[in-house]
């Protein structure tokens, strides 16, 4: 089976694209926390002025809602330009048809996201803001998957030959189910942030998402495949951060009577925790899908007929395997 040669510059540009995508995402989360989605009543102009000529910095002290909202618009334009570059570079350097299609799909989604944001302003629709936020998380995740599939570890299939045996049916199930539940939890969180209801459902969803995430982390680590373990450890880290931020968002919104802390609405700490909590949710979703993509990749390699190689390798040496089990099988 032919293996495509990884292009380092395309991979690096994909990582850059994902990094830049965090700008409109972070600004957008801050816009929601400040309830500044309607700071401007018009779009694509800003107070009747060209978006790129509007005196944005003037609002830094004068009007924080306009400053944040216009910054979100500018960041959205930036990721649009970067996405165009991603398509151009992909068509020039990438031979896999489906990866080319993925790049085009990312650009199309970014353009649609911009139009959706404009519709949210024109229609003054909070539901559109909810969809706008959820779609942003899907775009970010897709860009990170693009970075994954253009990386050397994904494309050097022989490196993982035989490791598909370490992917059990329970791991495949958990790897697929976890991001679905995490996305559902993000939807419930969006309902709380944008529409002000489903708070208790969001708490229940957090419990379910946490249980599933911990389960997939444990099973992934037991597979003893370093490529899966690294993603599982990353997922564990962002999960812990998200739980801490979730607790902070709750306390700064509702207070904490045992300590006498009284929540002050729109206080800086409340805005900070709510915004960080929303952004961290996207990282949990991203890492869960990164892990799922790796699990499915190993399963596909096993089903495609890759045979175990002598001296299986990881990115920096040998592919780590579990010790021989009691039954004699090597995972």
31 touches 69 (CB < 8 A): yes
Distances from the Cα of 269 to the Cα of 60, 221, 245, 255, 265, angstroms: 19, 36, 11, 12, 10
Torsion of CA 244, 206, 131, 194, to 10 degrees: -70
- Determine the average pLDDT of the residues in 187-216: 95
Classified as helix, coil or strand, 304 is: coil
Name the band, by pLDDT with cuts 50, 70 and 90, for residue 6: confident
Retrieve residue 117's tokens.
Answer: 């944001």
CA 199, 283, 241: angle at the middle one, nearest 5? 70
* Range from 85-94, 239-248, 256-265 carrying the lowest mean pLDDT: 256-265
How far is residue 134's CA from residue 139's CA, in Å, rounded to a whole number?
A: 9
Asked if the model's pLDDT at residue 160 lies above 60, the reply is: no
- Determine the average pLDDT of the residues in 16-40: 96
Tell me: the pLDDT tens digits for 208-218? 999 999 999 99
* 318 strand-pairing partners: 313
Name the band, by pLDDT with cuts 50, 70 and 90, for residue 232: very high
- Determine the average pLDDT of the residues in 220-229: 90
Look-up of token digits 């400053």: 67
pLDDT, position 168: 87
Q: Which of 144-158, 229-243, 308-322 has the highest mean pLDDT?
A: 229-243
Tell me: the pLDDT tens digits for 48-74? 999 999 999 999 989 999 999 999 999
- Please give the distance of CA 232 from its chain centroid, rounded to a whole number: 15
Retrieve residue 175's tokens.
Answer: 């790897």
Which of residues 300 and 189 earns the better pLDDT score?
189
Name the band, by pLDDT with cuts 50, 70 and 90, for residue 41: very high
* 46 strand-pairing partners: 49
- Rg for the chain, CA atoms, rounded: 22
How far is residue 230's CA from residue 330's CA, in Å, rounded to a whole number?
A: 20
């Amino acid at each position: 089976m032919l293996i495509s040669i990884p292009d380092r510059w395309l991979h690096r540009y994909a990582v850059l694209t994902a990094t830049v995508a965090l700008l409109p995402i972070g600004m957008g989360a801050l816009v929601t926390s400040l309830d500044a989605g309607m700071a401007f009543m018009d779009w694509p102009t800003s107070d009747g002025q060209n978006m790129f000529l509007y005196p944005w910095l003037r609002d830094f002290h004068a009007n924080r809602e306009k400053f944040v909202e216009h910054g979100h618009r500018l960041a959205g334009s930036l990721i649009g330009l970067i996405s165009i570059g991603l398509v151009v570079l992909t068509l020039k350097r990438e031979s896999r048809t489906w990866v080319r299609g993925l790049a085009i799909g990312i650009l199309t989604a970014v353009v649609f996201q911009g139009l959706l944001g404009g519709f949210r302003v024109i229609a003054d629709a909070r539901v559109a803001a909810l969809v706008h936020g959820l779609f942003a998380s899907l775009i970010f995740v897709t860009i990170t998957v693009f970075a994954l599939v253009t990386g050397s570890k994904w494309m050097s299939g022989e490196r993982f030959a035989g490791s598909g045996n370490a992917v059990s049916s329970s791991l495949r199930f958990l790897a697929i189910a976890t991001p679905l539940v995490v996305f559902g939890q993000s939807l419930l969180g969006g309902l709380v942030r944008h529409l002000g209801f489903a708070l208790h459902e969001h708490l229940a969803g957090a419990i379910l998402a946490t249980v599933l995430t911990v389960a997939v982390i444990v099973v992934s680590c037991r597979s003893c495949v370093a490529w899966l373990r690294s993603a599982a450890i990353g997922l564990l880290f962002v999960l812990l951060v998200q739980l801490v931020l979730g607790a902070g968002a709750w306390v700064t919104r509702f207070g904490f009577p045992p300590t006498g802390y009284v929540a002050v609405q729109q206080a800086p700490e409340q805005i900070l925790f709510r915004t960080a909590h929303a952004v961290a949710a996207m990282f949990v979703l991203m890492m869960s899908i990164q892990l799922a993509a790796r699990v499915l990749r190993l399963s596909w390699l096993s089903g495609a007929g890759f045979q175990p190689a002598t001296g299986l390798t990881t990115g920096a040496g040998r592919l780590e395997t579990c010790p021989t089990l009691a039954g004699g099988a090597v995972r």
